[in-house]
A and B are shown apart, each in its own frame.
Chain A
Amino acid sequence: MRVEVIMPRMGQSMEEGTILNWLQPLGAVVKRGDPLIEIESDKATVEIEAFATGRLAEILVQPGDAAPIGAILAYIEVEERAIRPREPVLPTTPVQNVGQPEARRPSVVSPVARRVAQEHGFDPATLAGTGPGGRVTKEDVQTAVTASIDTAQASSALSLKPGRLDISPLARRLARENNIDLRLIVGSAPNGRIIKRDIVSMLAAPDTAVLAAPSLPNAGQPGGVVRMPLSRLQRIAAKRMVESKQQIPHFYLTLDVRMERSLLLRESLNRRGKRVSINDLVLKATALALAAYPSLNAVYEGNDLLLNEAVNLAFAVAVGDKTRSEGLTTPVIHGCQALTLVEIAGRAGELAAKARDSKLTPDQLSGATFTVSNLGMFGIRQFQAIINPPQVAILAVGALQKLAVFDDQDRVTPAQQMTVTLSADHRATDGAEAAGFLATFKEVIEDAFVLAE
């Protein structure tokens, strides 16, 4: 590398100088600081030193010649390895606020856009251009600036985590002091926050039965109150029942069925040693009806209904005794579509016994596609059951009743009637389809012969 030796300014008014002598010959190796030239200005003669170490490679101005200030007098050839390379200075890259810094595609950016982008720390080349030929315009940059501010604000305005209440500290304290269940209060502040006046008005209207833990003055005394913890089964069921009622749009269809022929069938089978209960008849009839209405034998999953090929019927078994329930358990009979009435009865009996002994295995409790709940043995005439998600329906069976009905000759005649109520998920099915299912169920259970096939 060649370093220039230039005419130095040796005085305020000096404009040119004259070379008197080269103190080193051409080609000599000079060291920095070695005397190199004698130069005469109008005021003085001065010895100038070499400012680089290397070989005096070229002399351009000869002794006796004048040259102006700054003119190149000679070159010193400096050895490359003698120069220590400077540390590379990392250029400051502009902050990329918009999108990912993809592989740079050359884009045309208008000068104004470039300036605005620079002011905001963008690389305008990363923006999509809406100008002619895909040019990035000032508007494109401004849109990007606004968008980045919005996302920054949105992320900084921390939205309430789901399940967290927006409530003022004062309101929270008042609710706590007055045993108010906050989940039941709607906030009246403009942003929905629960504030003091909401608690105050809640306290002013106590008959709305929202007091979660009413103070019981006689706790522990005769005629007082005893705290009874719910069993694990009950607690789990409680949670699932709430979810079911909150999320599933239930609708209910009630139908009365005539059980005479089914009862005869049952009697016949029982006489021959095959124990079959009314519930077993119901289970078989349900399985046959579901074969014709597969969307009730399904699992609801967001936008899809998963139709199940097998009919896995869950039936409720009460655990505990009549006065103190420990909850319901619902064992599952898998593959009812391929089981005979007698086989279903056998399975049901086994599972019910196991349920009462709490000996059911997990796969005996899972995989149900439809549930049958029977309160007939308790004399309940009719009721509506709560669907067990992810199933889409449940059949509630009432007690047998001997009633007076009209026959087709309009004569009063005794009948054995049973009332069933279907609860169905209106996301998965509709009234017509559910009614069709119940009609088939009725046909099958009233015919009865088909149950025995």
Chain B
Amino acid sequence: MITAAQEALPNPVHSGAGREITYRDAIRDAMFEEMARDSNVFLIGEDLRDPWGGAYKTTLNVSNVYGSERVINTPIAEESIIGASLGAALTGLRPIAELQYLDFVMRAMDAVVNQVAKVRYMSGGQVQVPLVIRAQGGGGRSSAAQHGNSLESWLCHVPGLFIAHPSTPYDAKGLLKTAIRLNDPVFFIEHKMLYMTKGMVPDEDYTIPFGVADIKRPGTDVTIVANSRMVLLSLEAAELLAADGISVEVIDPRTLVPLDEATILESVHKTNRLVVVNEGVERCGWAAEVVAMVQKRAFSDLDAPIERVCSRNVPLPFQPDMESYVLPSVAEIIEAVKTALYVS
């Protein structure tokens, strides 16, 4: 499956100009460009059409340009959204389905786990599923327990799905294009707190291959592996730690499935210390997967136990201070780094 994802998608090298745009606009641009490139690409989900343009405005103006046949508004019926998209994908179209909140995937979980992820295998390869499911997750704005979950761990546990989890506008655009062009189902997980963040995005067409991590900040003393918004928190922590003379390397895997193990292991070989930061709840979360992989493959490179910084094992509170207490924080990341360094 991994080789299928990485066929013929080279590492981007940019020569031309770029602009600073928001994460949200990068995602929208990706969809715009792919819809222009391939008329089979269409959008389906709740409230996507103009003038609303999506709950987080990621589809603003798309129906104005491409019409309502290629931007389908659905009722609040997640299982049907996924089911219909799967059917469309099986019959030759390339749907981009949107779940307004990743939390709502739970209403479509059977379709995702037992149909979308498995039908290619169970048909002996007779069919393929060129389906992208976009959703946004995460906490930080009091969306509370039912609207702030980070459920990527659940999805990583389903063989047959690819999981992309960008943290920057550049990564978001490149990864979404790859996802759309892939002939296998991809969960493209955005973060509600990242939509307004800005970053440089090249004007030219580019894609980012799956299974290639990005070293967002090189360092020598400790490796941090983080995903989505936690990459930004880790970079903030790294900046503060640099003032203490601690050099932190921050790695953003960008895709959780497939995971770029080689980059992570190379980094741990260099620094001998690892901290994994994931917004999902600590218990049985994605961070544990990274820890297990590294301790197995780089045991003799470890000078300290691997630290995890995750959300506490409780439903996400509504009250802002309590929500901050539960979510991972820059302070906790700094503490974890210092623990790994045997520094108090």
User: Which residues in A have some Cβ–Cβ distance to B below 8 Å?
Assistant: 168-173, 188-190, 195-196
Could you list 13 examples of A-B contacts with CB < 8 Å?
A168-B303, A168-B304, A170-B272, A170-B300, A170-B302, A170-B303, A171-B303, A189-B304, A189-B342, A190-B342, A190-B344, A195-B303, A196-B303
Cα–Cα distance between A296 and B342 once the two chains are bound (Å): 50
Besides A170-B302, A190-B342, 17 other CB < 8 A contacts?
A168-B302, A168-B303, A168-B304, A169-B300, A169-B302, A169-B303, A170-B272, A170-B300, A170-B301, A171-B303, A172-B300, A173-B300, A188-B342, A189-B304, A189-B342, A195-B303, A195-B342
For B301, the closest partner residue in chain A by CB is A170
Cα–Cα distance between A173 and B302 once the two chains are bound (Å): 10
For B299, the closest partner residue in chain A by CB is A169
For B300, the closest partner residue in chain A by CB is A173
Interface of A is mostly: helix
Cα–Cα distance between A170 and B300 once the two chains are bound (Å): 4
Cα–Cα distance between A173 and B299 once the two chains are bound (Å): 10
Q: Which residues of B contact A172 (CB under 8 A)?
A: 300
Which residues 287-318 of B sit at the A interface, judged by CB distance below 8 A? 299-304
Cα–Cα distance between A168 and B300 once the two chains are bound (Å): 8
For B339, the closest partner residue in chain A by CB is A190
Q: Which residues of A contact B304 (CB under 8 A)?
A: 168, 189, 195
Q: Which residues of A contact B303 (CB under 8 A)?
A: 168-171, 195-196
For A171, the closest partner residue in chain B by CB is B303
Cα–Cα distance between A189 and B303 once the two chains are bound (Å): 10
For A176, the closest partner residue in chain B by CB is B300
Q: Would you give the shortest CB distance from A36 to chain B, in whole angstroms?
A: 52
Cα–Cα distance between A188 and B341 once the two chains are bound (Å): 12
Q: Which residues of A contact B301 (CB under 8 A)?
A: 169-170
B271-289: CB near A (< 8 Å → 1, else 0) gives 0100000000000000000
Q: Would you give the shortest CB distance from B103 to chain A, in whole angstroms?
A: 31
Cα–Cα distance between A188 and B303 once the two chains are bound (Å): 12
Q: Which residues of B contact A170 (CB under 8 A)?
A: 272, 300-303
Q: Which residues of B contact A188 (CB under 8 A)?
A: 342
B320-344: CB near A (< 8 Å → 1, else 0) gives 0000000000000000000000101
For B268, the closest partner residue in chain A by CB is A170
Cα–Cα distance between A173 and B342 once the two chains are bound (Å): 19
Q: Which residues of B contact A189 (CB under 8 A)?
A: 304, 342
Q: Which residues of B contact A196 (CB under 8 A)?
A: 272, 303
For B342, the closest partner residue in chain A by CB is A189
Q: Would you give the shortest CB distance from A196 to chain B, in whole angstroms?
A: 4
Q: Would you give the shortest CB distance from B300 to chain A, in whole angstroms?
A: 4
Q: Would you give the shortest CB distance from A159 to chain B, in whole angstroms?
A: 16
Q: Which residues of A contact B344 (CB under 8 A)?
A: 190
Q: Would you give the shortest CB distance from B265 to chain A, in whole angstroms?
A: 14
Cα–Cα distance between A188 and B342 once the two chains are bound (Å): 9
Q: Which residues of A contact B272 (CB under 8 A)?
A: 170, 196
Cα–Cα distance between A188 and B272 once the two chains are bound (Å): 16
7 tightest Cβ-Cβ pairs between the two chains A and B: A173-B300, A170-B303, A196-B303, A168-B303, A189-B342, A169-B299, A169-B300
Cα–Cα distance between A299 and B342 once the two chains are bound (Å): 47
Task: Please indicate which of the listed interface residues B299, B302, B303, B344 has the most CB atoms of chain A within 10 Å of its own CB.
Answer: B303
Q: Which residues of B contact A190 (CB under 8 A)?
A: 342, 344
Q: Which residues of B contact A171 (CB under 8 A)?
A: 303
Q: Which residues of B contact A173 (CB under 8 A)?
A: 300
Cα–Cα distance between A196 and B342 once the two chains are bound (Å): 11
Q: Which residues of A contact B300 (CB under 8 A)?
A: 169-170, 172-173
Cα–Cα distance between A169 and B304 once the two chains are bound (Å): 8
Q: Which residues of A contact B302 (CB under 8 A)?
A: 168-170
Cα–Cα distance between A190 and B272 once the two chains are bound (Å): 17
Cα–Cα distance between A332 and B302 once the two chains are bound (Å): 55
Q: Would you give the shortest CB distance from B339 to chain A, in whole angstroms?
A: 9
For B344, the closest partner residue in chain A by CB is A190
For A170, the closest partner residue in chain B by CB is B303
For A177, the closest partner residue in chain B by CB is B300
Task: Please indicate which of the listed interface residues B272, B302, B342, B344 has the most CB atoms of chain A within 10 Å of its own CB.
Answer: B342
Cα–Cα distance between A169 and B273 once the two chains are bound (Å): 11
Q: Would you give the shortest CB distance from A156 to chain B, in whole angstroms?
A: 16
Q: Would you give the shortest CB distance from B1 to chain A, in whole angstroms?
A: 32
Q: Would you give the shortest CB distance from A239 to chain B, in whole angstroms?
A: 31
For A199, the closest partner residue in chain B by CB is B303
Cα–Cα distance between A172 and B301 once the two chains are bound (Å): 10
Q: Would you give the shortest CB distance from A366 to chain B, in whole angstroms?
A: 47
Q: Which residues of A contact B299 (CB under 8 A)?
A: 169
Cα–Cα distance between A171 and B272 once the two chains are bound (Å): 10
Cα–Cα distance between A170 and B303 once the two chains are bound (Å): 5
B241-276: CB near A (< 8 Å → 1, else 0) gives 000000000000000000000000000000010000
Cα–Cα distance between A173 and B301 once the two chains are bound (Å): 8
Which residues 3-40 of B sit at the A interface, judged by CB distance below 8 A? none
Q: Would you give the shortest CB distance from B71 to chain A, in whole angstroms?
A: 54
Cα–Cα distance between A189 and B302 once the two chains are bound (Å): 14
For A172, the closest partner residue in chain B by CB is B300
Q: Would you give the shortest CB distance from B231 to chain A, in whole angstroms?
A: 26
B157-180: CB near A (< 8 Å → 1, else 0) gives 000000000000000000000000
Cα–Cα distance between A190 and B343 once the two chains are bound (Å): 8
Q: Would you give the shortest CB distance from B269 to chain A, in whole angstroms?
A: 10
Cα–Cα distance between A168 and B301 once the two chains are bound (Å): 9
Q: Which residues of B contact A169 (CB under 8 A)?
A: 299-303
For B295, the closest partner residue in chain A by CB is A169
Q: Would you give the shortest CB distance from B304 to chain A, in whole angstroms?
A: 6
Cα–Cα distance between A172 and B302 once the two chains are bound (Å): 10
Q: Which residues of A contact B342 (CB under 8 A)?
A: 188-190, 195
Q: Would you give the shortest CB distance from B28 to chain A, in whole angstroms?
A: 46
Cα–Cα distance between A202 and B344 once the two chains are bound (Å): 23
Cα–Cα distance between A190 and B304 once the two chains are bound (Å): 11
For A195, the closest partner residue in chain B by CB is B303
Cα–Cα distance between A195 and B272 once the two chains are bound (Å): 11
